[in-house]
Structure 1
Amino acid sequence: MNTVDGPKVFQRISVLGAGAWGTALALNAARAGRDVVLWGRDSATLETISTTHQLPAYLPGITFDQPLETTTDLTEAADADCILLVAPAQVTASIAETIGLYVRKGTPVVLAAKGLEKGTQRMMSEVLADYLPQAVPAILSGPSFASDVARGLPTAVTIAAPSLPLADKLCASLSSQTFRPYASTDLVGVQLGGALKNILAIACGIVLGKKLGASAHAALMTRGFAEMQRLALKLGARSDTLMGLSGFGDVALSCSNHQSRNFAFGFALGEGQTLSDLMAPGAKLSEGAYSARVACELATRHGIEMPVAQAVADVLEQKCSIDEAVIRLMSRPLRAESEQTIKQN
Structure 2
Amino acid sequence: MKHQPLAGVPRPFRPTSFKRIAVIGAGSWGTAVAATIARAGVEARLWGRDPQVCDAINARSENPRYLPGIALPDNLHAVHEMRGALDGAEAAVIVVPSRSVRSVARQVAEHAPDGIPVAICAKGIEAETGLLMTQVAEEELGHRPVGCVSGPTFATETALGHPTAATVAFPFTYADRLRPDESPAARMAMSLTTESFRAYISDDLVGVEIGGAVKNVIAIACGMMTGAGFAENTRAALITRGVDEMKALAEALGGRRETVTGLSGMGDLTLTCSSPTSRNMSLGLQLGQRIPRAECFDGRPVVVEGEMNARSVTDLARRVGVSMPICEAVREILHHGAEPGATFAALWSRPIEAEPRAMDLSFDHPASDTAIQQFAERFS
TM-score (norm 2): 0.85
Q: Does 1:257 align with 2:275?
A: yes
Query: Tell me, what secondary structure is at the counterpart of 2:338?
Result: coil
Residue 7 of structure 1: CA displacement?
7.7
Query: Tell me, what secondary structure is at the counterpart of 2:352?
Result: coil
Residue 58 of structure 1: CA displacement?
1.9
Greater gyration radius: 2
Q: Does 1:26 align with 2:44?
A: no
Equivalent position of 2:365 in the other structure: none
CA distance in structure 1 between the partners assigned to 2:296 and 2:158 by the alignment: 26
Q: Decide which of 43, 46, 50 is 1:42's aligned counterpart.
A: 50
Q: Decide which of 92, 102, 125 is 1:93's aligned counterpart.
A: 102
Equivalent position of 2:256 in the other structure: 238
CA distance in structure 1 between the partners assigned to 2:336 and 2:104 by the alignment: 31
When the two structures are aligned, how many residues end up with a matched partner?
338
> Contact (CA 8 Å) 1:31, 1:66: kept in 2 or not?
no
CA distance in structure 2 between the partners assigned to 1:258 and 1:281 by the alignment: 17
Q: Which deviates further from its counterpart, 278-287 or 308-317?
A: 278-287
Equivalent position of 2:149 in the other structure: 140
How do 1:185-264 and structure 2 match up within 5 A? 185-264=203-282
> Contact (CA 8 Å) 2:53, 2:64: kept in 1 or not?
no
CA distance in structure 2 between the partners assigned to 1:273 and 1:54 by the alignment: 35
Q: Does 1:71 align with 2:79?
A: yes
> Contact (CA 8 Å) 1:103, 1:135: kept in 2 or not?
no
Residue 138 of structure 2 aligns with an amino acid whose one-letter code is A
Residue 206 of structure 2 aligns with an amino acid whose one-letter code is V
Deviations 1:14-51 (A, max 9, x none): 10000000000000111000011100110111122222
Equivalent position of 2:164 in the other structure: 155
Residue 74 of structure 1 aligns with an amino acid whose one-letter code is M
Deviations 1:247-286 (A, max 9, x none): 1111111111112221112112212222224489953332
CA distance in structure 2 between the partners assigned to 1:125 and 1:189 by the alignment: 12
Equivalent position of 2:10 in the other structure: none
Equivalent position of 2:7 in the other structure: none
CA distance in structure 2 between the partners assigned to 1:196 and 1:244 by the alignment: 14
CA distance in structure 2 between the partners assigned to 1:197 and 1:14 by the alignment: 27
> Contact (CA 8 Å) 1:50, 1:67: kept in 2 or not?
no
Q: Which has the higher contact order (CA 8 A, sep 6+)?
A: 1
Q: Does 1:53 align with 2:61?
A: yes
CA distance in structure 2 between the partners assigned to 1:31 and 1:206 by the alignment: 38
Residue 16 of structure 1 aligns with an amino acid whose one-letter code is I
Residue 118 of structure 1 aligns with an amino acid whose one-letter code is A
Q: Decide which of 115, 121, 124 is 1:115's aligned counterpart.
A: 124
CA RMSD of aligned residues (A): 1.9
CA distance in structure 2 between the partners assigned to 1:192 and 1:36 by the alignment: 28
CA distance in structure 2 between the partners assigned to 1:161 and 1:282 by the alignment: 36
Q: Which deviates further from its counterpart, 277-286 or 321-330?
A: 277-286
CA distance in structure 2 between the partners assigned to 1:16 and 1:130 by the alignment: 18
> Contact (CA 8 Å) 2:15, 2:186: kept in 1 or not?
no
CA distance in structure 1 between the partners assigned to 2:15 and 2:222 by the alignment: 44
Q: Decide which of 310, 328, 336 is 2:354's aligned counterpart.
A: 336
TM-score (norm 1): 0.93
Residue 215 of structure 1: CA displacement?
2.0
Residue 338 of structure 1: CA displacement?
2.3
Deviations 1:185-232 (A, max 9, x none): 111111111111111111111111111222222221111221111111
Deviations 1:315-345 (A, max 9, x none): 11143021121111122122222203328xx
Query: Tell me, what secondary structure is at the counterpart of 2:275?
Result: coil
Query: Tell me, what secondary structure is at the counterpart of 2:46?
Result: strand
The answer for unaligned runs of 5 or more in structure 1 is 1-5
Residue 153 of structure 2 aligns with an amino acid whose one-letter code is S
Residue 107 of structure 1 aligns with an amino acid whose one-letter code is I
Query: Tell me, what secondary structure is at the counterpart of 2:195?
Result: coil
Query: Tell me, what secondary structure is at the counterpart of 1:100?
Result: helix
Cα distance, 1:188–1:64 mapped onto 2, change above 3 Å: same
CA distance in structure 2 between the partners assigned to 1:275 and 1:133 by the alignment: 40
> Contact (CA 8 Å) 2:86, 2:92: kept in 1 or not?
yes
Residue 309 of structure 1: CA displacement?
0.3
Residue 97 of structure 1 aligns with an amino acid whose one-letter code is R
Q: Identity, % of aligned pairs?
A: 39
The answer for unaligned runs of 5 or more in structure 2 is 1-13, 173-179, 362-380
